[in-house]
Structures are given as C-alpha cells and as structure tokens.
Structure 1
Amino acid sequence: MRRKRKWDREDDDPAAGLLNLFDIWLVFAVSLLLAALTYSQAARPDSATPVKNPGEPDMEIVNKQGQEIETLRMTDRQLTGEGQKLGTAYRLKSGKVVYVPETGKK
C-alpha cells in the first residue's frame, strides 16, 4: 500500500471555491470604484462659460479656465480702432445667431 504524501491529498474543504469567488468580487469592486472615480474626474470640465441674464442690459458672461474666472459685462460704450472684417452675424426668427465667416475671395 502506498503512503499518501501531503501534496497527494485532495482538498476536502467545501469553502475553498467560495474564497476564490470572494477574491474575484473584491477585484471587481475595486475596479468599479476606480472607474467611478475616473468618470467623476472626466465629467468635471476644466472650462465653462455660463451666461447670466441673456439678452438683458445687465447680461454677464462668466468664463472659467481651470482656476481662473473672468467676468465680462455688457456696456453701452462703443470701441474704436483699426481692424479687419471677419464675417457677418445674422439673427434668425427663432432667436439663434448664426455667424458666417468671409471666404477671403472678393
């Protein structure tokens, strides 16, 4: 009769398979947590431009680039200077503004 060695023994523990499942679920939970954190960082934009009171005399445009915030306010002042015409803007009946750049051909 042959003697059984310790590496010849079969594993009679019925919970051994559950431990492997626990390891798999633990890896799954950690990867799900990392995916959620990555998504929350990607969903937060570095730049944003909300408009307060659009079309009103006290309209403000808030421009955010990273940590820097710039506020632009409407004014009745007219600017003068030299420049070049870049195109034409049209307001549609729906209220949308369409910009048509010049092609450069004359």
Structure 2
Amino acid sequence: MARRRSILRRGEDSDPMSVVSNLFDVAMVFAVALMVALVSRYNMTEMFSQEDFTMVKNPGKENMEIITKEGEKINRYTPSEEQNSSGNKGKRVGTAYELENGDIIYVPE
C-alpha cells in the first residue's frame, strides 16, 4: 500500500513556483490583449504604419495637442501660455473641411 502512495505522490507537482509562472503567463496574455484592444479602440493604428500623419487632439480647446509623425520621429506640440504672451497673436484665415472620402478642403475667408 505504501508503494502505491509513493508512486502517486511522484506524479504530483511539488514545485510551488510553477503556480507563479502560470500566473505570469496569464498576466502577459491579458496585457497584450489589453494593448491590442486599446490601439484598435482609439484608432491609433497609424502610429505603427510607415505613413506620415498629423493628428489634432481636442481642437480649439485649451488642452489642444498636435501630434505629427515623420518617418520614425513622433513630435508632440502643445500650445502654452508663454507662446501666447510673447506678442505673436494670430488670426483666423480660413476653414478646413474633411469630406467623407478623407479629402480635406481649405476655404480661405
């Protein structure tokens, strides 16, 4: 009887760290799935393409940001109060419209 018990115990995993490695694998799969979901949800697939692009976040508001990608370089421009107080004021010179097919038309005023 003792021999059967020793055979059964040999088959069991006696390493307590194996549970930790399995949890790590599950966490990694969850993290990758979350990143893919966020990228697809916010339509940020342009960041991974080879094309150059410009994106404006919160247009016309105080926390507006302009993000441009040129090749491998990504630039982020945030207007600040210092730039506005330097005396360089701007004025509106026209309006840009984006059509359904993606074309942008500029109409000067």
TM-score normalized with structure 2 length: 0.43
Structure holding more helix per residue: 2
TM-score normalized with structure 1 length: 0.44
Larger Rg computed on CA atoms:
1
